Structure 1
Amino acid sequence: MTPFSNEMTAILVVIVVGFLPNEIWRLLGVLLGRGLDENSAWMQWVRAVATALLAAVVARLLITPSGALVALPFLLRAGAVGAGVAGFLLVRRSVLAGVLTAEAVLIAGAWWLGVAN
């Protein structure tokens, strides 16, 4: 086998095993969600559960970090969360702005403390 065929096999495996199973559920969600009323009690419950899950993930990363976050002090992580919330609110409730603001604070703090390689 040539190296090209090995690479193509790996790419096909990633597409079939990783991409397609997720896309099927996304497509079904879009198709089935078209007729739902966004202000219904069911959708409010779904939004509340999604928000609670996100809050739990952020709290877990803040309180018991793993990976590279372990090297950063708690106050820096808490400051990044606060800055992320501020960025979210200041840029018309943009999740992207909040995430980028929090990441910028973490990167700057790690650099300032000399934690970054």
Structure 2
Amino acid sequence: MSELNPWLMLVGAAGVTFLMRALGVVASGRLDVNGALFDWIRCVAYALLAALISRMIFLPSGGLAETPLWARLVAVALALAAFYGTRKNLFFGTASGFAAFIALLYLMQAF
């Protein structure tokens, strides 16, 4: 690999990035955010997020795999209860689930 190759890759990557951004600017004026295309994109995004969260709960990897399934499910249930109990406050629901999970792990170590 010559000394020129990393620079060529950097310029190529920057060029492609700026090209895609320019196409986004051109196309943004013509897109309807309330149209069927954006509804489909929104559905796919939610489906991907749900799949990733489900994978973290039921098929975890790394250190999370060493925790019991019941602890993960209890933390998720408490997070959902906090989320809906606070009128869909995402920060409070996420923080509550995290705190519940840490508390469960701490209590498991204590007993």
TM-score by length of 1: 0.63
Q: Please tell me whether residue 92 in structure 1 is matched to residue 87 in structure 2.
A: yes
Q: Which residue does the alignment assign to 2:54?
A: 59
Structure 2 equivalent of residue 75 of structure 1:
70
Deviation at 1:89, TM superposition (A): 1.9
Map 1:27-46 → 2, pairs under 5 A: 28=21, 36-46=31-41
Aligned to 2:3: none
Runs of 4+ with deviation above 6 angstroms: none
**What are structure 2's unaligned runs of at least 5 residues?**
1-9
TM-fit CA distance, 1:71: 2.2
Query: 1:64/1:37 Cα in 2 relative to 1: closer, same or farther (>3 Å)?
Result: same
Instruction: Quote the RMSD (CA, aligned, Å).
Output: 2.9
Measured in 2, the distance between the counterparts of 1:88 and 1:36 equals 33
